[in-house]
Amino acid sequence: MAISLSMVLLFAVILVVMIRGGSIKAGPAIVAVLFGFFLASTGMAPSINRFMNSIADTINQISF
């Protein structure tokens, strides 16, 4: 739960920065958000979630 909320917040901040910076217009941003929303309801959602969790776990295990 904490990881998924953090990812949503991270992607929201990136999207807002891209819109404000002019890198992406509002129309394509809305399409990207809708794509993510509808992708979450497909059969691919669990696989994507496992992939993102494995990346987060890998990053978490890195020690300096």
Q: What is the 3-state secondary structure (H, E, C) of 13-62?
A: HHHHHHHHHCCCCHHHHHHHHHHHHHHCCCCCHHHHHHHHHHHHHHHHHC
Query: Model pTM greater than 0.85?
Result: no
Domain count, the chain: 1
The pLDDT of residue 54 is: 92
pLDDT tens readout for residues 4-62: 667 778 888 998 898 899 998 989 988 888 888 888 889 988 898 899 889 989 988 99
The answer to whether the CB of 43 falls within 8 A of the CB of 36 is no
* Single-letter code of the amino acid located at 14: I
Range of the domain at 57: 5-62
